[in-house]
Homo-oligomer: A and B are copies of this chain.
């Protein structure tokens, strides 16, 4: 399996601890938002709204349970909207909100980093010995 790129998949909502240490500007306690699939969902929705199964397809390997959890969390955080069209069979569409769209540059930056630096990282990994 060839290595392709690096995705941003997790971010942390950081909370200042009671005893914030000014010597390290990021000595925060992280509380995570996002997860394994969040970044990929954002990218999949970039080109427009998609239905549940339309998301499952390109995200090969994601189980319906996990995709549901991911989408619910993103909805809760205001990253996507969930629209139920009253039809039969049911049709549910997910779309990015402006907030969700604002993540795109960050994800792109992570991928750009990977395209530029991943070979170095992998080389380091190969030559490393404990």
- Which residues does A use to contact B, with CB under 8 Å? 1-19, 21, 23-30, 32-33, 36, 39-40, 43-44, 57-61, 72, 75-79, 99, 102-103, 105-107, 109-111, 113-114, 116-118, 120-121, 123-125, 128, 130
Chain B residues with Cβ below 8 Å from A79 are 121
Contacts of A28 in B (CB 8 A): 4-5, 7, 40
The 8 closest A-B CB pairs, nearest first, are: A78-B124, A24-B58, A10-B10, A26-B43, A27-B58, A21-B58, A4-B16, A76-B128
Tally of this chain's copies = 2
CA distance A83 to B5 in the complex (A): 30
Q: A1-B15, A26-B111, A61-B17 are in contact. Are A99 and B121 (CB under 8 A)?
A: yes
A116 to B102, CA, bound (A): 10
